[in-house]
Amino acid sequence: MAIDSRNFFRSHCAVWKILGLTHDQVTWKKLYISVTIVFHLLITIGYPLHLGMSVFRNGNLTDDIKSVTFIATYGACSLKFIIYAYNFDKLRRMKELLMLLDLRVKRPLEMDIYNTLRSQIRAILYMFTGLWVTCAMSAELAFILQDGCELMYPAWFPFDWRNSSRNFYLANLYQIFGSCYQLMQNYVNDCFPIIMLCIISAHIKMLYIRFEQIGVDESEDVVLESQLEACITDHKRLLELFQTMESFMSLPILIQIVVSALNVCVSIAGVLFFVTEPMSRTYLVFYAIAMPIQIFPTCYYGTDNELWFGKLHYAVFSCNWIKQSRNFKKKLMLFVECSLKQKTAMAGGMVRIHVDTFFSTLKFAYSLFTIILRMRK
């Protein structure tokens, strides 16, 4: 059965099309580009801007804390999306490499890994959907149950929305639409890197199996050398895919790590010391839980990639290499030397995309929290 890893990105491609990044795939290009520019000016740039204008200008401390979390989240979302849009051409090369790697998946053991991959990606999508739905519902309930006529998010508008019903509904309509638009951006921002790292990890495991099976069927030397060369080519493609993906997500992941630490700290401080409304506190609790969970899969699969790249030379020595020709062994040793170099994805060229970084993010959030404690004293 032929496989196609690009199927895992069908929903992402649909969202990218809605967000205006696939202008080369539409018929009405001028209209498509014009509408895209308008929406990005109004939402991608305007939405975090209208939230940021109200920071520390609200009537109460609860709204100030909400403003900080909202501007950090939506500002980071817009910035990450702009970076991904700038690097969007790299996606085409990643898809080409995936197609070439998929053609090599034939053995039953490799198909088992692919089926497990499908289940893992489904679980990732369900997890993120659950997080976003929970946070969105708690934010909506806090808005619905609040006293008086207030906006869903504390924000600034260039018109008086407090003394005009029409302006009030316009402001809320803008915030609701903007939230939906930014949720779509968040979906492709956060899910795509995780799924790609998950796929890379699965393909490394499949390559491990291919290396182990070399020489098992006692084929001729020419056939065995061609199998080894094919596996070495797969390794080169995996490295290119890994490096392309790293350059694609490097800066956005760094932004996400910093923003997650900030929001965890502010949310917990708000729940413990400042916010008294039950629904607002509920929202901040869910928000504080969602932020670290959002970056954990990326860190986990970054670690998994590093681990399996580091194991490949063990697979090489697990194959039936002892009985092979001198030329075969030379190629084998050259590959082993090349595979010994550690492959670690870096965020912003400074921070490892690793489980250790996840725990360091939590420690950083705690350090910020202790600063707030000292300021209160």
Residue 147: per-residue pLDDT? 60
Distance CA 17, CA 32 (A): 10
* Percent of the chain residues topping a pLDDT of 70: 92
pTM of model > 0.75 = yes
Residue 358 binned pLDDT confidence (cut-offs 50, 70, 90): very high
- CB neighbour class for 91 (10 Å; exposed up to 12, middle 13-18, buried from 19): buried
How many other β-carbons are positioned within 10 Å of the β-carbon of residue 129?
Answer: 12
Q: Which domain holds residue 287?
A: 5-376
Q: Please say if the pLDDT value at position 121 is more than 80.
A: yes
Q: Please say if the pLDDT value at position 62 is more than 70.
A: no
Mean pLDDT score, 236-249? 93
Q: Which of 23-32, 55-64, 68-77, 185-194 has the lowest mean pLDDT?
A: 55-64
Mean pLDDT score, 68-89? 89
pLDDT tens-digit map of 186-233: 888 888 999 999 999 999 999 999 988 887 776 677 778 888 889 999
pLDDT tens-digit map of 293-333: 888 999 999 999 999 998 888 888 888 787 778 888 888 88
Q: Please say if the pLDDT value at position 146 is more than 80.
A: no
In the chain, the number of structural domains is 1
Q: Please say if the pLDDT value at position 368 is more than 70.
A: yes
Residue 63: per-residue pLDDT? 67
CA torsion through residues 58, 63, 65, 66, sign: negative
φ/ψ of residue 26, rounded to 5: -115, 160
